[in-house]
Chain A
Amino acid sequence: MNARALLMWVAGALVVDLASDNPVVRVLVALVAIDLLLVLTPRGRSLTPTLVAVLVFATTALALNVALSHTGRNVLVRLPDWLPLVGGPLTLESLAFGLTAGLGIGGAVLAVAPISLVLEPHELIDALPDPLERSGLAIATALNLVPGIGRNAVAIHDAERMRGWRPRGVRSWSEILVPTILTSVEDALALAEAMEARAYGLGRRTTYAVRGWSVRDVLSVFGAVVAAGAFLAARLAGVPLDWQPYPAVSLPPLPAPLIGAALLLALPVIPWPSRRSID
């Protein structure tokens, strides 16, 4: 997929996810984003870490809200008042609000995940506008070092283990962490030296390849722009998008035009018959 199209889709999905508290919209964004990742993520890249991160963020938001907000009419359970912070009623409303908050964070993480999972670093650089290109290259190059840092950490852990190191509390890990950081800094300097030796920073750069736009790319941008535009317009026009479970939980509003607009985000996952470039 064209990197610029994908970046626009990410921006659109983020706007839709964060423009309202409506859980139905957030579920839609999360589902579409997962579908997109399943369709576009190259083989060999695992979705598991992203999904684990989503689960952790969402669960944390849910747990914090349930434990700390003691508002709402429908009490599920009451914890002793002498318990600091969490003592008091735990309500269905706080559970519902926590779920919505978790869905919002999870949806946002899933919406931006294609940047790292679908795009190669050079595609990201190519997609940036010229003024950001040098910064983008620096960031992408730094991202290239990440697998090396992982390998260094494993190698150093192995070497230290075989020299008798055993994990004994937090401080003992400094013996792995310090050499890993030192080696990673040395690797980063080696890369910087190699880039300098290949004329990096000489002046205005050109780009080797520009990916054309396919039907899927155009429709993705169309869907993202319409969806984001609809939600922003609705927000400006004062259309009731948000959902408040307090004081008593109720069904969220389902404004059909906006649900339809959110569904436009699914355009890139539809199996279009042709990927022929139109540019």
Chain B
Amino acid sequence: MAVATLDRLTYAYPGSTSPALRDVSLDLGPGITLLAGRSGSGKSTLLRVLDGLVPHFHGGRISGRATAVGEDVVRTPTRRLARHVGFVFQDPELSFVYGTVEREVAFALENVGMPREEMRRRVGEALERLGIAGLRTRQVGTLSGGERQRVALAAALVLRPAVIALDEPTSQLDPVGAASVVAACVELGRAGLAVVVAEHRLERLLPAAERVVLVTDGHASSPMSAGAAAAAGLPSAPQVVELGMAVGWLPLPLSVVDARGRAPALVGRNGSRPRATGDVAWSFENASLGPTDVPVLEAIDIAGRRGEIVILVGPNGHGKTTLLRAIAGLRDPLAGRVERIPGRVAYVPQNPAAALHRPTVREEILLTLRRTTSASASEVETGAAAMLARLGLAELAERYPRDLSSGERQRVAIAASMAGSPDIAILDEPTRGMDRASRERIASVILGLRDRGAAVVVATHDTTLAADIADRVLEVRDGRVAELGPPTRALSDGSPYATQMGELYPEGPVTVAGVLAHVAR
């Protein structure tokens, strides 16, 4: 039975000539519905229709019909629909109202005027359901990323809605945090809720999805099974699906478990030789680092070389950003020594799009080139055009950056930060919330920087990106930085950062391309 229905729904944001949703007709029932699509395809807009944020909060033009739990979405205010549809946003930090967990979870109950005793019962029930009852009195600011997202989920569940919509809930989480949120979604789906998730990280969600809707340029496909969606071509297909398609498996595997036993044998594995690298470009000697005067990392002895990509992995909040800022020279060590080669350091912080302020995408890139190089005007123009092309931004060159989708903005910010020829390039979660095509473009830019001799350091939770580009992996955890070695070891079976290929081929290649290169045919 459909819990939410969209019937020939078309919607355009205010001031936009092109609809974000086009003639969408869908019936969504209980269980997990996965919305898959490229960045800017309309997934988030479709989610927002379910609780009426589109059109009531965002405005714009809408036609067609949408109902959620029997309520007409177009005619019912969001605050009334909130009783039936819960919403979890990508960045929980931007949606928290209160300072403590239990007050945050109770916020919606206060808004509907619930008696205090009932509120206490509901808050306890929601926290229990998500396995976070122990966090009840904690300050939200002290929680890990995964805990925060589960608190946001509890806050959405507390009104006992029939539908829960989640907008890229794992995009900012480390693998452990992401797994906990996905497990919570799976439990809710099994309990009969309609759980609608827009997500790019499909590895764990795809096998659990009741149905998948492919969203392309505002059009939504009919709901299909996960296997059918994989065969139809997912925009961010998990590695096992990609491998299955490459070697012609039918049906396609949706998880590592599906693929085990069918995985082709590999031949000619001699182990990859380490790449030749250049001189030491940056180094720490017995350094203590912290965002304030309290160290979060101590006794750090590490170095990176020219022509090398070092990947930092580790849980949220354990000091990866602090380490990157110290490498960039934005924060001096509290103790010990840091050295870096002279030359330009390029740095992409988390949420780099925040810094965009020029009238066009092209102007953003030109600004960096003018400030950081002594090139002539024509060389600067040529350099900007090359960067735009490399990141697939040529068609957006004259657009205002803040009008773009979040994935496009992220690419613009990376293009603006990495333009020119930096000697050291530092990127903090560069592929957060990006689809695979965008991720591949970013990977290509990073590899290009390395090949031109830059020392590159990337902090990421995106293990597929790490597998594609890493020369070496470091783990930042519990105040220490540990060498995990080459990706074939660091991202292999048994590691919390293992890719699906790493799990499938212990000690073997960790990318699909690496596996295919050694498949016995």
Closest to B83 in A: A199
Closest chain-A Cβ to B448's Cβ sits at a distance in Å of: 19
**One of B11-19, B90-98, B177-185, B389-397 contacting the partner:** B90-98
What chain B residues lie within 8 Å of A201 (beta carbons)? 79, 111
What chain A residues lie within 8 Å of B56 (beta carbons)? 196
Is the beta-carbon distance between B155 and A152 smaller than 8 angstroms? no
What chain A residues lie within 8 Å of B120 (beta carbons)? 208
In the complex, B283 has a CB within 8 A of chain A? no
Is the beta-carbon distance between B82 and A197 smaller than 8 angstroms? yes
Closest to B345 in A: A162
In the complex, A200 has a CB within 8 A of chain B? yes
Q: Can you give 19 A-B contacts (C-beta < 8 A)?
A: A155-B349, A156-B355, A159-B348, A162-B347, A163-B416, A178-B357, A183-B354, A193-B53, A193-B57, A194-B97, A196-B79, A197-B89, A199-B111, A199-B159, A202-B82, A205-B110, A206-B113, A206-B119, A210-B116
What chain A residues lie within 8 Å of B110 (beta carbons)? 205-208
Residues 323-361 (chain B) with a chain A CB within 8 angstroms: 325, 328, 330, 345-352, 354-357
Nearest 7 CB-CB pairings of A with B: A164-B371, A194-B95, A162-B347, A199-B82, A199-B111, A159-B355, A208-B106
How many chain A residues have a CB neighbour from B under 8 Å?
47
How many chain B residues have a CB neighbour from A under 8 Å?
63
What chain A residues lie within 8 Å of B82 (beta carbons)? 196-199, 202
What chain B residues lie within 8 Å of A210 (beta carbons)? 116
What chain A residues lie within 8 Å of B114 (beta carbons)? 206
Majority DSSP secondary structure for residues of B touching A? helix
What chain A residues lie within 8 Å of B156 (beta carbons)? 198
Q: Whole-angstrom distance between the alpha carbons of A120 and B371 in the complex?
A: 44
Residues 356-402 (chain B) with a chain A CB within 8 angstroms: 356-357, 367-368, 371-372, 402
Given A122-B99, A197-B51, A198-B108: A159 and B352 interface contact (C-beta under 8 Å): yes
Is the beta-carbon distance between A207 and B116 smaller than 8 angstroms? yes
Q: Which of B79, B98, B328 contacts A200 (CB 8 A)?
A: B79
Given A191-B94, A194-B95: A158 and B112 interface contact (C-beta under 8 Å): no
What chain B residues lie within 8 Å of A196 (beta carbons)? 53, 56-57, 78-79, 82
Closest chain-B Cβ to A43's Cβ sits at a distance in Å of: 12
In the complex, B248 has a CB within 8 A of chain A? no
In the complex, A148 has a CB within 8 A of chain B? yes
What chain A residues lie within 8 Å of B115 (beta carbons)? 206
Closest chain-B Cβ to A114's Cβ sits at a distance in Å of: 16
Closest to A140 in B: B97
Given A158-B349, A196-B53, A206-B119: A144 and B97 interface contact (C-beta under 8 Å): yes
Closest chain-A Cβ to B168's Cβ sits at a distance in Å of: 13
